[in-house]
Structure 1
Amino acid sequence: MDDIHAPTVASGLSSGIAPRDVSKVSMPDLMQEKERIEAELSALSSVLNSHGVNMNSSLTTFDGFPRDDIDIAQVRTTRVRIIHLRNDHKAVMTHLEKGLHDHFARLQNAPGATSANGTTVPSSAPTSVTDNSIADTGTLGTPFARVNSVEPGSPAHQAGLKMGDSIRGFGSVHWLNHERLSKVAEAVQQNEGRPLTVKVTRKNESGSGTTELDLQLTPRRNWGGRGLLGCHIVPL
């Protein structure tokens, strides 16, 4: 009998669609492709969860027979699609990073480029898009989430977060690496009791214009409510 865990779908995209040459796609289109892939990965993960399995779960019983409590064909096909999408996601992120490096290089080499104090900005080697120094720049300041609600007396409330705030940065998490906010959840869990810088854009009370703020948010328990933050954040 063939290995039940081995994929049966032919190599390449399981949809049969010709792979897209992401090297010729614009930055906005790359971002849309990134979001599309992440949304499909999330949906496929839900398919596996509905069967009570993950990418590594055994599809056979203890004595080597195929499990009869799951749709094995669907699980195997879903796993293959996830593998293809992960590879696609990696390629998109590689080209996004290259595009950002090229953008910064053009800014640094532009004639007459000066710093805030009037001195010439020196050219420097590009850094990774996951680096905090790049996460702090305006280029990576694109909002990726919105504060939907804030509980009174919560860590989020004490930090100054308000409903409607657009989040541009959450610690080292930004629009290129938030992975549908899963990285925000990781940052919260890993920094309990330690302050995180949350960069937000807030509409002015006058109704015209916005204000950009850097808030210090410390995730913690026992504040009188649920969770470590006391706010609800949704992806844009």
Structure 2
Amino acid sequence: MKMTDQNKPESPEASMEDVRSLIKKKDDIEEQIQAYYDVLEDQGVGLEASLVDTEGYPRSDVNLYQITTARHTISCLQNDHKAIMVEIEEALHKLHAREKAKRHRDETEAREEAMELQVTLPPAFACVNSVIQGSPASEAGLKNGDEVIEFGSVNPGNFQSVYNIASVVQHSEGKPLRVTVIRGGQKAHISLTPQRWSGRGLLGCNINPIPR
């Protein structure tokens, strides 16, 4: 009775450990073949040399049993070698196919995540161009390149210019502000407290608007 695709046993996945095991078996077979070739060389014959003399009698100058055993074993081992090479090729094919499928899945998931972020993340209205070491902005964790989507009460809906941010900063000295930025394609929430420090201003960073 013909088996349907649903009833067919699935081909087991190959792992790198499986490939290493098969290669080890191949190497062992090759060592055995070479050992039996050495036997034939010691006897002064190869795979094809005649084992009878000119009169048709078995040669007395060689070990006939040792030679025939070596020849037969070499033939069997060569068949085993061909079979193991086929197994290695199939295992490598499965391994490469699995790695290719994994890369495809990872790339698809990355694209889907990027598309989802583009849909869910609000547009940034300003970008941090520089952060001075030791400043309140630096201590809070603000980084150069952060794209601002929320700065206290300022958001994409009410932002008009950097003066909006400057106004919030001036009225929030000593008070923590919630700042949300896009960093590496993901949201990062920062608690930033404008305050006096050794440098100029209350933040120690430069924020420029992003043209719309």
Normalised to the residue count of structure 2, the TM-score between the two structures is 0.42
Normalised to the residue count of structure 1, the TM-score between the two structures is 0.37
